[in-house]
Structure 1
Amino acid sequence: MEPGIDMVDTVLECAGTAGQQDIPRPGNLHGEDAVWQETNCYMDLWIELLYRWRLDPRAALAFTVTQDFEGDHFTFFKYPSADLEQLYGTVVQEMAIYDTLEAHVAEQVGRGHAVLVEVDSYYLPDTRATAYRRGHVKTTIAVESIDPALQRLTYFHNVGRYTAEGDDYRGLLRLEPELRDNALLLFPYAECVKRVRAPLEGRALSNAAAAQMRMHLDRLPDVNPVTRWREVFDAHVRTALARGDAYFHHYGFNLPRQLGANFEMLSHGLTWLGEHGYRVPPSIIASAASMATECKVLQFRLARAVARGRADACGECLDTLESAYTHVTQGLLNSFGRASTAHA
């Protein structure tokens, strides 16, 4: 144990445990059977927040059809604020930070809101296997409760709900003198999540979710993103081989993981639409899910290539992904159409 770290200052609670056992988790998006149990920090905390509020996070997943290849990464997918507001009555707005972060978080949480804030994983006890007290890595958490007197807060991050106290609390909120008095540190980006009206239910919810699907199908990429990826894939592999494991760790997160996790979420969203009366051919759901598993295979193959120092073109994986993407998007256009066509 490192000096000055009180390991009993933290309480870890996995998703669905420690007081959350009675909360329904339809679809169990972070379940042990998930291909990509973690997607990205922002998406994962929203999934857990919605479950906490007894809402189904699958209803708002239509936006995942818009993911594109951005040249050096796949779109970092996250719930659009407008979709969250329409379906769940939840408004997300940027916070003005000018006082201590602790003061602002306490004020907003005290008003019944959740606060999403960028923090340093160095102080996050749930990252003990990776960054905790080892490295400084930016991530986003959702603060649910805070007690400044006890210096204790509960937060959502990745696939669970956790508690931080003592040194971790002071580090997260920049109360330690070396953080508080450092003029070179910029204020963190923070958002306030306000539940301003009741969420949609029943047919109103499913109709709105289907309308979101048609709207997002209007925003499909012009070219199959996998096709664009494979055009530069060999060059990417050469770079990964030259730069080694540390670089590949980031590459794996931002490309195969984001692509695979995104389409795994789409498969859950399509399952939800099917459960609520919309015709979604099973083959479309299966193809979206297959993209998740194939991205996992591709990532393993790339990791092996980096370890061995020998390139792997992953042609079979890219063939499967390219074909599955076409089947999914064309199938959805046939089933739902585009918003622009529907209102033409």
Structure 2
Amino acid sequence: MTTRVLAIAGDDYRAHPLHSTGRIWTETNCYADVWLEVLHSLGLDPMVAGAFAVSADFEGDQWTFFKYPEADLRRAYGIDVHEMNPWRGVLQHVVEQLELGRLMTVEADSFYLPDTRGVSYQLEHVKSTIVPNEVDVNGRRLGYFHNAGYFELSGGDFDGVFRLGDHAEPGALPPYTEIIRLESMHRLPDDAALDVARTLLAEHVTRRPGANPVIRMANRMAPDVDWLRNQPPQMFHLWAFGTVRQCGACAELAGAFLIWFADHSSNPLAKEAAQHWMNLAEHAKSLQFSVARAARGRQIDLEPLTAQMAAEWDSAQDLTGKLVGS
């Protein structure tokens, strides 16, 4: 018996345009990406609640792991998200919530997620977030949202994701899970959606870091590069994901939101701000390549590029603040 909320076939799935191959950063992080696709598949516009990207910061050793805030999802779409207690085992909870017409976020091991083939699937154990949508317990099949799309798995991968059979871990801590309640979900008319987006933007503008986070990331970069030179290659990828990739992907998401805002409000200032966010995203990609070369021992002056990124951040934030009178 198959239990599902949305009738989706993995082979026919069409991802949201923000996950197209023409993007600067085709993926952001597992949580933001999976929500982009879940909202898209529910017939909702992910950009209505996209303002959170303007308030990301540098946390001292990494860029903010940016994600849709629960309060913003509730305000923009009527979706209620909160942590749940998987006291019976994750599979039982997933099935029951699907039967109730709800979804869940589930912390899963990418070792068992075929969509990560060539990266972590059957190669290494990496924590990620999926949203199960369709489950066939007897057939051991799962349809799930992950990263930039919708996928299907079965057999041993099913057992691995849910820690069943040979993959059972009796002493392991349960994974982090959330309930996604859809009972009050709504799609706002365009004018109302723009009002909500403007309100959320104003709130996130007040949460922006007081000092330029790109400068703080750049100051941390010199000792990090020295350290990376003595680390295995995989450590660079972990470092890059937590720093320049999150910085760049978040900037691109902020730019995408402001392009949407400009299109819906006919405000040219929003499009100007968006261009600075997109420039920051482009420069972050260049910086990632430069640091990769520096980590391999080449002498590369990163200061001109990080200074340009910092200037783009200042310009982007100045114009974004003017949109809401801040």
TM range (shorter): over 0.9
Query: Is 1:193 paired with 2:180?
Result: yes
- Structure 1 segment 200-211 matched on structure 2, within 5 A: 200-211=188-199
Q: Is the 8 A contact 1:287 1:325 kept in 2?
A: yes
Q: Is the 8 A contact 1:93 1:192 kept in 2?
A: yes
2:257 to 249, 253, 269: 269
Could you tell which deviates more after superposition, 64-73 or 236-245? 236-245
Query: Is 1:49 paired with 2:42?
Result: no
In structure 1, how many angstroms separate the alpha carbons of the residues matched to 2:247 and 2:82?
27
- Structure 1 segment 289-300 matched on structure 2, within 5 A: 289-300=278-289
Q: Secondary structure at the match of 1:191?
A: strand
Q: Secondary structure at the match of 2:218?
A: helix
- Structure 1 segment 116-135 matched on structure 2, within 5 A: 116-135=105-124
Give the CA deviation at 1:223. 0.2
Give the CA deviation at 1:337. 2.3
1:20 aligns to what? 13
1:6 aligns to what? none
Structure 2 unmatched ranges of 5 or more = 1-7
In structure 2, how many angstroms separate the alpha carbons of the residues matched to 1:206 and 1:245?
45
In structure 2, how many angstroms separate the alpha carbons of the residues matched to 1:72 and 1:259?
12
1:84 to 73, 86, 96: 73
Q: Is the 8 A contact 2:120 2:126 kept in 1?
A: yes
Q: Is the 8 A contact 2:108 2:127 kept in 1?
A: yes
Give the CA deviation at 1:73. 0.1
In structure 2, how many angstroms separate the alpha carbons of the residues matched to 1:270 and 1:174?
42
Q: Secondary structure at the match of 1:141?
A: strand
Query: Is 1:160 paired with 2:149?
Result: yes
Could you tell which deviates more after superposition, 237-246 or 151-160? 237-246
Deviations 1:136-165, CA, capped at 9 Å, x for gaps: 111110111111121111001111110011
Q: Is the 8 A contact 1:89 1:200 kept in 2?
A: no
1:220 aligns to what? 208
Q: Secondary structure at the match of 1:163?
A: strand
Q: Secondary structure at the match of 2:143?
A: strand
Give the CA deviation at 1:101. 1.6
In structure 1, how many angstroms separate the alpha carbons of the residues matched to 2:318 and 2:79?
32
In structure 2, how many angstroms separate the alpha carbons of the residues matched to 1:52 and 1:168?
24
- Structure 1 segment 1-344 matched on structure 2, within 5 A: 18-21=11-14, 25=16, 28-177=17-166, 179-180=167-168, 182-197=169-184, 198-277=186-265, 279-281=267-269, 282-307=271-296, 309-338=297-326
Q: Is the 8 A contact 1:260 1:293 kept in 2?
A: yes
Give the CA deviation at 1:275. 1.2
Q: Is the 8 A contact 1:233 1:313 kept in 2?
A: no
Give the CA deviation at 1:315. 1.3
1:7 aligns to what? none
Q: Secondary structure at the match of 1:18?
A: helix
Q: Which amino acid letter does the alignment assign opposite residue 35 of structure 1? A: I
Deviations 1:240-299, CA, capped at 9 Å, x for gaps: 112241211111101010000001000110011111115242331111001111000000
Q: Secondary structure at the match of 1:330?
A: helix
TM-aligned CA distance change 1:325 to 1:99, over 3 Å: same
Q: Is the 8 A contact 2:132 2:144 kept in 1?
A: yes
In structure 1, how many angstroms separate the alpha carbons of the residues matched to 2:142 and 2:262?
39
Q: Secondary structure at the match of 1:32?
A: coil
Q: Is the 8 A contact 1:241 1:311 kept in 2?
A: no
Give the CA deviation at 1:311. 4.2
1:12 aligns to what? none
* RMSD over aligned Cα atoms: 1.7
In structure 2, how many angstroms separate the alpha carbons of the residues matched to 1:97 and 1:335?
43
Q: Is the 8 A contact 1:119 1:140 kept in 2?
A: yes
Q: Which amino acid letter does the alignment assign opposite residue 182 of structure 2? A: R
In structure 2, how many angstroms separate the alpha carbons of the residues matched to 1:226 and 1:101?
39
Q: Is the 8 A contact 1:45 1:157 kept in 2?
A: yes
Percent identity of equivalent pairs:
34
Q: Is the 8 A contact 1:280 1:335 kept in 2?
A: no
Could you tell which deviates more after superposition, 277-286 or 168-177? 277-286
Give the CA deviation at 1:231. 2.1
Give the CA deviation at 1:213. 0.4
